[in-house]
Amino acid sequence: MIIRGEVCVGCGRCQPYCPAGAIHFSGLKSEVDRETCLECGTCLRVAICPVDAIMDDPTAFEYPRAVRKVFSDPTAPHIATGIEGRGTEESKTNDVTGRVGPDSVGVAIEVGRPTLGMGLPDVQKISRALARAGITEIEPCNPIHQMYADESTGDLRADLMGERVLSAIIELEVKKDRLPHILRVLKEVAKEVDSVFTLDVYSLLGPDLEISKEVLAALDSEGFPWRPNAKINVGLGRAWEERRAS
């Protein structure tokens, strides 16, 4: 994002809206720190500037800087998925897509948060740790998948290592019995990650709407406190109907 210095009147109203703390006074005007700015677009969208001094940086749409925008601006559709946001549609609509079946578990590692953001080397630390442990089942529809230089090593493309984003999600789908292994890897790599990450584990409910005992046992045994969340979408059951019919 850019603040046109010749227009800005230095009122400072835009500064508290920046989730990255990238807008500062420079003399009597406000200025965007290019390195810290995540191109999330919040300062522009809130339309707080009384003189329209805030404008998109034209380079925000050029690779590799464009990665900041697609992972940080919730209104920017991602080229890989065609959906707005950092994850895949499938993980949120599993009852329709049936991507994670009864024997599997989905794992989403959400790296970074507003006010913190994160550098993409943090994603690489996690993807490398997973790859070293033999876990390379990265969801192909996930935007992160496009960033890989080598899935077998977890290396991301070198030209992305200077970029920062608000957050990004690494998504995996594995058999349930591999979950404890993944949790142990994440506990170890957490010591190296500079930002923060949260962990989502998702699976189908059982016939009596119970959460998988295997999944809960894995979380408990590895010391991960869990909080249940349910999400039900219109279209419930379609995937199972289609599977049964095929």
Name residues whose C-beta falls within 8 Å of residue 145's C-beta, 6 or more positions apart in sequence.
80, 138, 139
The reply to whether 70 sits near ligand SF4 by the rule CB under 6 A is no
Q: What are phi and psi of 241, to 5 degrees?
A: -65, -45
Is 49 near ligand SF4 (CB under 6 A)?
A: yes
Site mask for ligand SF4 (CB under 6 A), range 11-30, x = bound = xxxx--xx-x-xx------x
Q: Are strands 148-150 and 54-55 parallel, antiparallel or unpaired?
A: unpaired
In this chain, which of 24, 28, 41, 198 binds ligand SF4, going by CB under 6 A? 41
Nearer Cβ to ligand SF4 (59/233):
59
Provide the minimum distance between the beta carbon of 154 and ligand SF4 in the complex, in angstroms, as a whole number. Answer: 28
Could you tell me the CA-to-CA distances from 3 to 10, 12, 25, 61, 226 in Å, in that order? Answer: 10, 12, 11, 17, 43
16, 24, 26, 42: which one binds ligand SF4 (CB under 6 A): 42
Q: Does 10 bind ligand SF4 (CB under 6 A)?
A: yes
Cβ nearer to ligand SF4, comparing 40 with 135: 40
Let me know: does 204 contact 97? Beta carbons within 8 Å. Answer: no
> Among 16, 39, 96, 156, which residue sits at the site for ligand SF4 (rule: CB under 6 A)?
39
* Residue 116 near ligand SF4 by CB under 6 A: no
Q: Is 118 in the site for ligand SF4 (CB under 6 A)?
A: no
List beta partners, residue 35.
none
Cα gap 123→127, rounded to integer Å: 6
Interaction between residue 51 and ligand SF4 (CB under 6 A):
yes
Q: Is 53 in the site for ligand SF4 (CB under 6 A)?
A: yes
* Residue 108 three-state SS: strand
Q: How far is CA 66 from the centre of its chain?
A: 15
Q: How far is the CB of 203 from ligand SF4 (least distance, A)?
A: 35
Residue 54 binds ligand SF4, judged by CB under 6 A = yes
Pick the closest to residue 157 from 169, 149, 166, 168 (CA basis).
Answer: 149
φ/ψ (deg, to 5) at 25: -75, 140
Q: Which residues bind ligand SF4 (CB under 6 A)?
A: 1, 3, 8-14, 17-18, 20, 22-23, 30, 32, 37-43, 48-49, 51, 53-54
